[in-house]
Each structure stands twice: as C-alpha cells, then as structure tokens.
Structure 1
Amino acid sequence: MPGDPARPNEDFASVALPASGQGGCLVVLDGVTPPRGDTGCLHSVPWYTARLGGALTELTVSLPDVPLSGALARAIARTSEAHAASCDLSHPRTPQATVVLARWTEETFDYLVLSDSALLLESPDGAVTPVLDDRLSRLPREALVSDAVTDAGYRNKEGGFFTAAADPAVAARAVTGAVPRARVRSLTALSDGAARWTERFREGDWTDLHTAVRKNGAQWLVDRVRALETADRETRAYLGRSKTHDDATVVRVELPPAG
C-alpha cells in the first residue's frame, strides 16, 4: 500500500509458480525514496522496482539451478543495461531497492534478504524464524544524521549497508540460506514500512507479527502501522521525515505439506 495516495507506490511484490506446478517463488522489493535533487537517472523508483522485480520473478522461476544471489545479480545487470546509456548509474542515489527473495521446491527452501526488509519463516511446530539483514540498524546514529553523510560514507560501501542498485556484485552481500522444505510451513515477507510494527513501534516481536497477520490479515497490519505513524511525532521530528507514512507491503504464503 502506498504511503501517500498522491504518490506512486515504490514497492513491488510477486508470487510465481513454475509451469510444472511444483514449488514457487516470492519477490518483495522496497524502492528507496531519494531525497529531492539530482539522482543521475531519468527514471523513477517505481520504474526501477517494476523492472528489477519482473526480472527477478522470471529468473528465479526459469533458472531453478542458479543460486538466488546469482538470479539477483543477473536481474540487476539486466535492469542496469536498460538505462545505462541514458543515466549515471554511478550516482549514489541511482534508483535502488531492498530485496526479499524466496524459492521453494518439494525438497528445499532457499532465501535471500538484502537491506532492511524482513522475511519470517514458520516451521510446522509454529516457531517463527526472522531472516534479517541488520547492517543498516547497526550503523552509528551519526551515520544517519543527513542523506549526504549516509550516501558518502555508508550507502553501498564496506562497513555500511547494501541495496540492489546498479552493481550486480552487491548480490554477494545479501543474507542467504537454505533449509529443507519440510521445515517451512508458511512465510511472511514485509517491506520496512510494514515491519515498523515490530522494529520501531515494539507492538510485539516477530512471532507476534506473524501470528497477527495470520489471524487478522495484511490490511490489519498496514492500518495499525498507519495509526502508529500518525501518532509518532517524536520520531518524525528526530529523523526529519517529510512523509508521515512509508509504503508498506505484506505478503503471506501458506505452503502445502512437504512430500
């Protein structure tokens, strides 16, 4: 859901099944809203997330033997090629996004997370495991004092944090892993605009969030976060946020029993 009805949603979400009907994949991207001013690119963030997300969905399903990091690298390269001739892809604010990616077969479940979106995995016994890339949250407070400071010293830099932008090599920086398919009953992917329920507002832990979405639905979570954001005057003042609400995406997938 867009944070502002007057602005296009910069998130992307898809769930796809291969023609065989076995397995599937999930993609969630959270486009990074740039500050006002030059980004070196003629294109919008939604343009970028639509193309990167479309490429990721296709490649993750059509190339089942390619690791998820390899699929992400190929998708970034394909998207970069689409506007390299017209745009300065070396600009620190060239269009970019956080990534959640999952792929499952009858035997395996693979995952990838890059930057501050979240993936929650529920096992058959109900235990919930969050898959997080927490590098952004571990930055010193002074790293976030301004966009200029963040871009110069920390964005897509060693010792900082990484997003999917124009360099395919960033795919190797993602948090990745694999578990037997039988150990995953369901999954929930969230852009950081929805994950605020846990990360910023402390309404509950990741298990509570997963349970709330299962019981109440994705729209309930977004509505609750919207109400909390509206009341959060102190954080908005500290961060200098120009927008009260962030785009928020929630995707929940229930998997059939393995085997």
Structure 2
Amino acid sequence: MIRTAAGWCVALPPGGQDQGMRVTMTSAVARTGRTNEDFTGALPTAAVLVDGAGIPGTAAVCRHGVAWYANLLGGSLLGLLSLAPDRGLPELLAEAIERVTDDHRDTCDVAAAISPSAAVAVLRLSDGLAEYLVLGDATLVLDRADGGPLVVSDPREVVISRPYASALEATAEGSDAYHRVLRELRANRNQPGGFWVAKDDPRAADEAITGSRPVSELAGAALLSNGAARIVDRFRLADWPTVIALLASSGPADIIRRVRQAETRHAVTPDDATIAHCTGLGEA
C-alpha cells in the first residue's frame, strides 16, 4: 500500500485468471477530533467499503462503538474474501456479521435498536466476472467501457425514511417527540417491508442487492460511502458520468473536497466520506 496525494494507492499484483486491479482509496473524517466510522480496504481481486452508522446513544449499549464495528466488519470480510473465493458474497457477509456480533455479544446489547450497524459495498473479480454486493446506503458504480455507468444502490432506507423526514424537521432535535419519531423509523430496520443494514443479524446479508458483469465490459468501478455520494444525490454538483470522469482525472480526494465545500456552503452537517476507485480490472 503506497501513500499518494490522493489517498492510499494499492498496487495489486496479478491474481490468477482474474489478474488484479489498481485501487486508490481516500477516507476523510467528518470533523477534526472525531473518529472516522468508515472503513475501506482491498485485496488483489476485491474491494470492500463499510459505512458505519453513528446513532446518538450507541455508547450506552456498546462499549466498543461504531468505528470499531465498521473496522472489524470490514477486516473480517476482507479476510473471508481472501480465504474463500468460491463462496457467494452474501454468504461471506453473513459470516462476517456473525463473527463481529459474537465478538461483543457478551459485553454489549447487540440487539438494541441503537447498537452499531453499517452499510456495505463489495466488488470482487471472479472467473471473468465483476461481482458486486450493496447493503444499506452505500453506492457502487460500474464504469462500463461502452455506455453510461451502472449505479448500484439500495434505495429502501431512503424510501422508508421519507414519511418521517417532515416530522423530524418540525420537531425540536433532542426532544422526546424527536426521539419517538426516530424510534418509529428505526423499527423498520432489518424487518420485512423495511430496510436492511449489517448489524447483529447475519440474515440481513440475504437482503443485499447483488449482481455481476463481465470484467471485459468494464473500465473501472467506484465504491462510495453515503457521505461521498452526496456530490450527486444531495448537492447535485455532478452526475455519475461526471463523477467517473473526475475520479479518472483528479482522484477520490477531489470528490471529497467538493463535497466538503458544498457542506460548508449549505450549512449541512459533515459526514465521513470514503471512496475506493478501482481501475485496470483484470489487467496483469
């Protein structure tokens, strides 16, 4: 792993018939003095991004915290990807969730609604295919050599949250009424008809958005946390083809810089922002 101006560049060697890929990663904490609750990492033929969910009160039920959960989940998933290349991505994510849950089941209230959780995005090269998985509000973008980018996202949390948004905006933050609305919203998490995230139940992995594309059709890919994807879905500073072009020309750090500027301009609370940009898919 090599430090660059754009972040961390992983120069990956050939990896069997799938060869390898180059991954440039940048992760920026929301504010100085806080802990980054995102994780990203890569293997010769895989990249993982985990976007930890920070919820007020988590410390009361889990002594480890969201950053610990995101890093342990991401590290466990990378390890499983390296050791079990023939197993499906949902199966590997389910095992990673179970491992992390077991690591703090005896010390923390893992089933509590405010215990640590995370969104996950995975890209893996296998047998000439680029396999992908998205669970929660992370985003994965496949840069198709012919045609526009294929954007893979999980819209269920956004859809479920809409009816609650106006109630939260009209209620004083931190009040009993505000927390009641939040509890009602969170009751939809990891439930049939609701939205799904990595938390304490490995069965959530079966609800992930998955698919594959031939590696030969792709020029690259990008995995983005919710904080980084704001450049498109919140601030409308660019569309996804422009994001792909910016990643190629100036790297992930420039995307995050633009997001930070927009957060300041619109007085929006910053979020941790992380991008893994994968290029040279299948190349030696």
Q: Could you tell me which residue of structure 2 aligns to residue 252 of structure 1?
A: 277
CA distance in 2, matches of 1:225, 1:125: 28
| Corresponding residue number in structure 2 for 1:20 | none
Q: Distance in 1 between matches of 2:46 and 2:153?
A: 18
Q: Return the offset for 1:157.
A: 2.0
Alignment of 1:28-67 (within 5 A): 28-36=49-57, 39-67=60-88
**Map of 2:43 onto structure 1:** 16
Which residue of structure 2 aligns with residue 4 of structure 1? 31
The whole-number CA distance in structure 1 between the counterparts of 2:282 and 2:76 is 29
Q: In the alignment, is the contact (CA less than 8 A) between 2:120 and 2:138 conserved in 1?
A: yes
Q: Is the 8 A contact 1:182 1:258 kept in 2?
A: no
Distance 2:58 2:202 in 1: 25
* Residue in 1 that maps onto 2:183: 148
% of aligned pairs identical?
34
Aligned to 1:185: 219
The equivalent residue for 2:245 is 211
| TM-score, structure 2 normalization | 0.81
Matched letter for residue 149 of structure 1: E
The AA in structure 2 aligned to 1:16 is L
Structure 1 residue matching 2:33: 3-state secondary structure: coil
Aligned length: 243
Displacement after TM superposition at 1:148 (Å): 2.1
Structure 2 distance, partners of 1:116, 1:147, is 17
Q: More relative contact order in 1 or in 2 (CA 8 Å, sep 6+)? A: 2
Q: Is the 8 A contact 2:40 2:74 kept in 1?
A: yes
Q: Is 1:227 the equivalent of 2:261? A: yes
Q: Is the 8 A contact 1:181 1:258 kept in 2?
A: no
In structure 2, what is the equivalent of residue 87 of structure 1? 108
Residues 143-167 of structure 1, C-alpha deviations (whole Å, 9 max, x = no match): 3434222113x22222221110010
CA distance in 1, matches of 2:244, 2:277: 9
Residues 35 and 147 in structure 1, CA contact (< 8 A), matched pair in contact too? no
Counterparts in 2 of 1:126 and 1:215: CA distance versus 1, 3 Å: farther
State how far apart, in whole Å, the 2-side matches of 1:49 and 1:2 are: 14
Is the Cα–Cα contact under 8 Å of residues 59 and 65 in structure 2 kept in the other structure?
A: no
Give the number of the structure whose residues are more often strand, by fraction.
2
How does 1:76-225 map onto structure 2 within 5 Å?
76-125=97-146, 127-139=148-160, 141-144=162-165, 145=168, 146-152=181-187, 154-225=188-259
Runs of 4+ in 1 over 4 A off after TM superposition: 256-259
Q: Could you tell me the TM-score, scaled by structure 1's length?
A: 0.89
Deviations 1:209-245 (A, max 9, x none): 1111211211111111011111223xx4xxxxxxx21
C-alpha contact (below 8 Å) 2:90/2:205 kept by paired residues: yes
Q: CA deviation at 1:257?
A: 5.1
Q: Work out the CA distance in 2 between the residues paired with 1:231 and 1:97.
A: 28
Q: Tell me the amino acid that sits aligned with residue 221 of structure 1.
A: I
Give me the CA root mean square deviation. 1.7
Alpha-carbon deviations, 1:237-256, whole Å to 9, x = none?
A: xxxxxxx2100001101024
Q: Structure 1 unaligned runs (5+)?
A: 18-23, 237-243
Give unpaired runs (5+ residues) of structure 2: 1-27, 169-180
Secondary structure at the counterpart of residue 86 of structure 1: coil
Distance change in 2, residues 1:161/1:39 (3 Å): farther
